[in-house]
Amino acid sequence: MTKSVLVLGDINVDIIGKFDVFPTPGSSTYSDRPTLRPGGSGLNTFVGLKKLEIDADFVTMIGKDLFGSFIKEELSELGIEFSPVVSDSYPTGVVFSLSVGNERTFFSFRKNAADIHMTAQDISDSSEYPDMLYLTGVSIVEGKETFETFVEVVKRAKIEGTKVFFDPNMRKTDRVSISRIELLIPYVDVFLPARDELAIILSKSEKFRFCSDLIAAGVSDIWIKKGAEGCSLISGEKGFDFPAPNAHVIDCTGAGDAFNAAVVWGYANELEKKEIGVYANVYAAISTERIGAATSYPDKESMLKSKYYKSIKTGVKVS
């Protein structure tokens, strides 16, 4: 029996468009049609976990608006039970993702999104804590209320023995954002940064200058996402490099969140770390071959039987 997981994070409607070129200021660029999908790093990871048959719950907030209704309807069609807090005061976040080739630019309508305004009163008090907790950095850096609320949840869960996973998912790199990540790091067991995010944190942090500093603070494993180059793992004194599959990429939206879901799945099923890295790369790769994020993720059987598994397993390097 796999372990229970609580996801704390953001939620959006993603409006995805593929264009031939980026527009110059004041001009226009054209595409065929937009694609609307549920999104947000928190929601994406939650859906990935559910598709991988993990017992996951998701704490977030949507607005009482058509975008919030759209998300609930889409998840209902996927057969996923979803009961977010609904706000009368704040709107559901919306993000427009403009893609040219494999390069994406985001336009985020999130300055006042409902999910950055969560308070302790919005979270039901439970005497039972999950085996694992996943938190996205969007909720840490974008809103003071949700930052304070989620940090308290993480602290209490950690005391109860919950394993904490954290993706910094950085959209801001100012001093306040870095300091919030610094505050959270000592409660994190498994750290999931992209390579550029890790470089920013180590260059701007006053507390963590090297990966060894993160390990010394209590992080047991650092999974570094490297896009088309795969991923690396730093675990204690060991390092692992995992190559990426040669996928037919259509849309990279949410690939990092798919990777995170597969990593959590691997820990929940107590797999060896060398297996977790292979499956995480496979799961992320499959997600890029479809439009959208959460709704593009494959089910567990597709991941386990993927043609990519054997092709990259032999390329794993240990140092």
pLDDT per residue over 198-248, tens digit each? 999 999 999 999 999 999 999 999 999 999 999 999 998 889 999 999 888
pTM score: 0.93
pLDDT of residue 317: 78
Length in residues, the chain: 319
Determine the Cα–Cα distance for residues 162 and 129; give it in Å rounded to an integer: 7
Q: Are 110 and 142 in contact (CB under 8 A)?
A: yes
Long-range (24+ apart) CB contacts under 8 A made by 100-104 are 100/18, 100/19, 100/20, 100/21, 100/22, 102/249, 102/252, 104/252, 104/253
Determine the Cα–Cα distance for residues 237 and 254; give it in Å rounded to an integer: 30
List domains and CATH numbers for the chain.
4-10+41-61+112-318 (3.40.1190.20)
Determine the Cα–Cα distance for residues 285 and 303; give it in Å rounded to an integer: 10
**Is pLDDT at 1 greater than 70 in this prediction?**
no
Report which of residues 214 and 122 the model is more confident about. 214
- Using CB atoms within 10 Å of the CB of residue 30, give its burial: 0 to 12 exposed, 13 to 18 middle, 19+ buried: exposed
Averaged pLDDT for residues 118-138: 88
| Average pLDDT score over the chain | 92
**Lowest model confidence (mean pLDDT) among 68-77, 125-134, 156-165, 182-191:** 125-134
Determine the Cα–Cα distance for residues 61 and 110; give it in Å rounded to an integer: 13
**pLDDT bracket for residue 68 (50, 70, 90):** very high
Extract the tokens encoding 148: 């304070």
Extract the tokens encoding 319: 């140092």
**Angle, nearest 10°, between helix axes 195-204 and 175-184?**
100
